[in-house]
């Protein structure tokens, strides 16, 4: 058994630890490139500047783009009065402004939160989720999404994507220097081989860290959502229904989800599952249910 607060603290520490590893990977790769291979600092700065521009674009326009890509439409307050009431009550409980509410016409039971911060956030739910969940279960799912907003998870993931992009750019430089040579060729073939291995493996390691951060934030949002409504069983029940839906051969993935938006969803929006959990944006549903049922 674990309390909400123990689970939240554990996953927050895990996220911090993963970001420290991310930073160490980035700085180590940067050091290796500049000092051992004599890489072009100017080109590197241009590449990193492109990453900063991408991060700024994601911050200011990412939410609108994600809603557009997902075919989300702003919900009618009269038609979805219950949904508005739940979102408003949970936002007030967390002392954050009321997020905008969107609905996606899709039979897959799912939801996500997006936006550039607590004062400019949005919650989107599918029609499949609204139709499948009872009021208590819907509260649990919305509490999970409100937690993402409250914990600034959208910004966390933006930073993770920017880190991964920067590592990818530097890795390309390292691989190119292996093939075309650098100022420090006198250091020998072994060092060049090390450079090639780093250039090939670093992007994969960055991807694994980014996915691990995404899974950690999902566990945190589960625990925080359960704490908000003081009912982990409601969230566990919602996940159980989603798991049963996914096992149905007639079930469909979220129609307009893609690799960019996948990590935002309440549950993995794709029908196909990774053989290895380390390559998944979400923890296994059965493990999420197990942790929720053990909370108090």
Query: What's the Cα-to-Cα distance from 90 to each of 62, 177, 286, rounded to whole Å?
Result: 24, 53, 26
Residue 72, burial from CB neighbour count under 10 angstroms (0-12, 13-18, 19+): buried
Phi, psi of 107 (to 5 degrees): -75, -20
**Token couple for 263:** 């990590």
Measure the CA–CA gap between 269 and 198, rounded to whole angstroms: 32
Measure the CA–CA gap between 67 and 120, rounded to whole angstroms: 13
Q: Does the annotation count 145 as an active-site position? A: yes
Helix (H, G, I), strand (E, B) or coil at 99: coil
Measure the CA–CA gap between 1 and 89, rounded to whole angstroms: 29
Measure the CA–CA gap between 43 and 120, rounded to whole angstroms: 35
Query: What's the Cα-to-Cα distance from 62 to each of 85, 101, 109, 116, 187, rounded to whole Å?
Result: 26, 17, 23, 8, 44
Which residue among 7, 74, 137, 145 is the active-site one? 145
Measure the CA–CA gap between 274 and 205, rounded to whole angstroms: 17
- Catalytic positions, please? 145
């Amino acid at each position: 058994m674990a309390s909400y607060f123990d689970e939240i603290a554990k996953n927050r520490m895990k996220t911090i630890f993963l970001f420290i590893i991310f930073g160490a990977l980035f700085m180590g790769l940067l050091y290796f490139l500049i000092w051992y291979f004599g890489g072009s600092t100017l080109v590197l700065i241009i590449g990193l500047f492109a990453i900063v521009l991408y991060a700024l674009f994601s911050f200011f326009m990412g939410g609108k783009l994600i809603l557009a890509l997902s075919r989300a439409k702003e919900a009618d307050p009269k038609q979805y009065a219950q949904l508005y009431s739940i979102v408003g009550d949970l936002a007030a409980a967390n002392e954050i402004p009321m997020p905008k509410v969107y609905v996606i016409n899709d039979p897959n039971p799912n939801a996500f939160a997006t936006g550039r911060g607590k004062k400019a956030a949005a919650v989107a739910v599918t029609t499949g989720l609204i139709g499948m969940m009872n009021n208590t279960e819907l509260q649990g799912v919305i509490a999970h999404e409100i937690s993402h907003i409250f914990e600034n998870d959208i910004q966390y993931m933006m930073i993770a994507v920017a880190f991964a992009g920067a590592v990818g750019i530097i890795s390309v430089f390292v691989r190119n220097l292996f093939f075309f040579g650098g100022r420090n060729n006198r250091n020998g073939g072994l060092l060049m081989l090390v450079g090639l291995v780093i250039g090939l493996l670093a992007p994969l390691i960055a991807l694994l860290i980014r996915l691990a951060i995404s899974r950690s934030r999902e566990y945190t949002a589960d625990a925080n959502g359960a704490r908000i409504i003081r009912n982990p069983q409601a969230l566990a029940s919602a996940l159980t229904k989603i798991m049963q839906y996914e096992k149905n051969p007639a079930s469909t993935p979220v129609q307009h989800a893609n690799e960019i938006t996948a990590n935002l969803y309440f549950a993995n929006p794709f029908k196909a599952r990774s053989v290895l959990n380390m390559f998944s944006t979400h923890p296994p549903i059965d493990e999420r249910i197990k942790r929720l049922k053990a909370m108090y």
